[in-house]
Structure formats: C-alpha cells, structure tokens
A = this chain, B = another copy of it.
C-alpha cells in the first residue's frame, strides 16, 4: 500500500495512496489501507496527492485519504478514471479535485517542481516523477520495467531520466519488486506467440483471464482473437468497467464487430469464441471462479475448451488459484498457466539489469529502494552499492513510518512518525476494524469461546443456581457435555471458595473464574478458548 510523503518546510506532497489485501491472520478484514494520521496531523501543509499509475496498490487508499481531507489529485487520464470508479463506490466523486496530467508535463506545487516522465509498466499511462526541490532533484520511479518494444510503441522516456542524471540527482527512489530476478524482464510483446499458439490449438472455447487493468495484454488478446476469427466477450465486473474506461480514453482499440454479448457466448460455435474474464487470483466471487465451478450464467466450460491464465500468482493466493484450476480441470478443459517458454505472462517490474540501468542513468547521491519487502529492499541497496561504488554517498532502507531527513549537511534517518495500517471490514469508508477486534477474532478462530454465566441475587449476593456455560467453536456438544458439566462445578466451587468481600467486586470474581476455568480446560483438553465470565445481577 504505497504511500510516501515528501516535505519541504511547511509543504507536503503525497505520492500514491494504495491499499493491500489482508494476510490470512487479519480475520474478517476485507482490505487494508495506510493509517494517514501523519497527514491528518499536518493537514494544513498537505498540498497535493500525485499518483504514478492506476494499480490498486497505488490508488486503492485514495477514497480513504480523501474522506479525511480535501486534496487536489494529479494523475494521468487512465489513473484518474480508475480512481473515480473507486470514489463512486464511496459516493465521494463529487468532492474530488482532479487534475489530469500527461507525461512531459511540469507542475509547480509550493517549493516542488514536478516533471512527469513516461515509464513502461503492466498498466499504460504510468509515470515516474522528477521532483526538483531547493535541495536538489528527487527521482521517484513509480513501478516500471524498461520495455524496449512496448505494444503501443510508447517507449520508456530514458532521455529525460538521462538528462536529470547528467545534471545531478540528489536521491533516487526505485521499484524493488523484481530485484531477485536476474537479467531483463521480457517485453510485453513476448506473450504474443504463446497467445497465438493457444488460439490456434484450442478446439473449443478459449477463455483468457488477465488483470482488467492490463490494457496492453487485453489489446493483444483482442488482436489475436480477430486474426483467428473468434468473437470476443468480456466477463466480470472489473473487466467490463475497465475495458469501457480504456476504450473511452482511446487506450484500447476494439476491432470492428468483434464484441460478443455475454448472453450470446453459448449460442455461438465454440471455436469462434474467446472469452476474456477477470479473476486471475481465484477471488471467490470473481467471474473465473464462478466459471470454474460451473456456476456462471453466461459461460460453461467443457472438454475441448482451453482456459489461459495470463497473470502472475500473487504470493498468498496460491491455494485459491490452484483450487480454481483444479475445478476447471475437472470440467475437462485444458488449463494453461505458470512459467513456460514462450511465456503466457510477463512481469511489469524491472529485473536486475534494468535496475542497474536505472541506477546508472540517474547516478543519485542518495538511494532509497521502495516497493518491496525488507528482503528485497536490502538486496536493492547491495545492488546500488555494487553499481555506483563510491559515487553513492549513502543508501537507506526505510520501513513504514520511518523518515529520512536531508539538508545541506546530508541525509540521515529522522524520527519515526505515527503510521501503520487501517483494517477495513466490508469496503465502507467508516468500517475500521481495530487491532483488539482482530486479536479477539484470532483467539476465537483457534479454539472458540467458553462463557460462564453466573446469576447473582442482588438481595442476597449469592448465586442461586448452578452457573450456566455457553460455548461455540470449542467442543462438540456430544463430546463436551461431561466436560461442560464439570466446568460448571469448577465455577461453582470458585464462587463458594470466595470471600464475601471478593464477591462484591465483580472484576475480581470474573478474573478468579477465568483463571480457574482456564486451568481446568487446559488440563482437560490442552485448548485455550476465549473465556469470558458474565455476572448478572437478578
């Protein structure tokens, strides 16, 4: 969930505001966005939000940031259109102040002069930023690869970068995603031969899944479909929305009369159909997941059909993706996925040789790797030291919330600021899930709960009946009935053995009951359910 603040005196610009999907242990959390406390505390100094490109991990947090403060937002047409779609979901689109910019544009925002530099990436209309400050130039690469043959013939603007490098750059912040990969990332064009082979070989329907935002990939699929005489249908909410956006912006060229309505897919001869669906990551409600279990109203996959996954597996999604592929295989279709030569997918991020090129072109005084886990950032720093040698003054791996301060004397780590993550349940802006709630859910998920209920007579101060015990997720009623009977006795004994004084303090009683019951349950079952004694005055 990329988000970086650049501050000079009383002026702050924010670069990107992404989201991420939660780890499995964030139970019941739908998405995670940055904690924007630092920006809120400095609200009067924040001048603008600048977006490098339209991927969710760079724009998904925008609705949450804009709900906290009004802010001018700068981005290319596609980036802003994708943000607008998200804002509409939150009814925030009216208030947003959008500024459409193009590669080559220069912005003046407070003390910052910002030039947008065209880069190649897996989504079109991506830019790097060259930010001129009174202390020198800061280059932020955004996400990039150096594609020598992009499908839209819009090459990476190496010349402008070289120009900055020649004049001298204070600091480079560079994408670290693929620092583990040797060599060069293949060009987007490299998938074309594999797509052609699939279209040629499929006897029945050809189903291709890729990220909806991969406009270049979609363009190639449509072109190959046209050449092979197949009509094309789009399936999936995001696929329909994004292709419409890209088409309206003249970024996606849809060949004449190639489009097939989803409802006509099954009425068209199978070998004349290509279906382009969203859901490469096995998301449970996605079009492809529904197709896989034969539960989509417009498409049923059969023996002879071919399903092509033209996307990478995002770490953490392996199991759901393989489960989906297994279901498709059960339908008798061939599934094309994973590494192969020629590739069915290429990465949008620079491999080691491209990262070296970036370091060599920009020749920064300071280096800070961005966009990667710690292991990747650390490796990128080693690479930078190796490439630049003594020309590199210093390099810094910063973790979330850490700051770097630069002045005339040089660069050094600054104080840590208060940032972190905000967990969102079910997509609405308000529904923040606090850490304590997630901790409780995790505890509940492991061994369930045991809730002893003690009714105390408010006149006598005594419990008149045996305590009740309510439980779920712990033991089955069958296995557990004796255990629960015994547990009631344990609670009753704790009550009996307490002094009159203890009994008047419910907090003390709850703690004593919890401790005794925990010991009993742990001894009997070696489990640790959440135990929460309830005392009712009746």
Contact = CB atoms under 8 A, between A and B. Distances in A.
Interface of A: 23-24, 27-28, 180, 182, 315-316, 318-319, 322, 325-330, 334-335, 338, 340, 373-375, 378-379, 382, 425-426, 428, 431, 434, 436-437, 440-449, 451, 453, 455, 457, 464-465, 468, 470, 472-476, 479, 525-527, 530, 532, 534, 536-538
Contact of A440 (B326, B451, B472): B472
Most B CB within 10 A of own CB, among A375, A436, A447: A375
A444 B473 contact: yes
Contacts of A476: 434, 436-437
A445 B330 CA distance: 31
Given A374-B326, A375-B325, A526-B428, A444 B472 contact: yes
A27 to B, nearest CB: 4
Given A28-B445, A448-B441, A426 B473 contact: no
Contact of A473 (B182, B382, B437): B437
A167 B451 CA distance: 67
Nearest to A446: B28
A67 B283 CA distance: 40
Contact of A451 (B425, B445, B470): B470
A472 B449 contact: yes
A328 B437 CA distance: 30
Contact of A330 (B374, B436, B437, B446): B374
A316 B319 contact: yes
A498 to B, nearest CB: 20
B534 A468 contact: yes
A433 B340 CA distance: 41
A159 B318 CA distance: 39
A443 B479 CA distance: 21
Nearest to A372: B326
A534 B437 contact: no
Q: How many copies of this chain sit in the oligomeric assembly?
A: 2
Nearest to A23: B319
A526 to B, nearest CB: 5
Given A27-B446, A428-B526, A448-B437, A470 B316 contact: no
Nearest to A535: B468
B436 A440 contact: no
Given A326-B374, A445-B444, A536-B536, A530 B472 contact: yes
A471 B476 CA distance: 21
Given A441-B473, A444-B449, A525 B431 contact: yes
A375 B527 CA distance: 37
A325 B373 CA distance: 9
Contacts of A434: 476, 479
Given A440-B472, A455-B536, A468-B534, 15 more contacts: A23-B319, A24-B319, A28-B473, A318-B318, A428-B526, A437-B474, A437-B475, A441-B444, A441-B445, A441-B473, A444-B473, A449-B449, A457-B538, A470-B532, A470-B534
A426 B526 contact: yes
B325 A534 contact: no
A532 B470 CA distance: 9
A310 B338 CA distance: 22
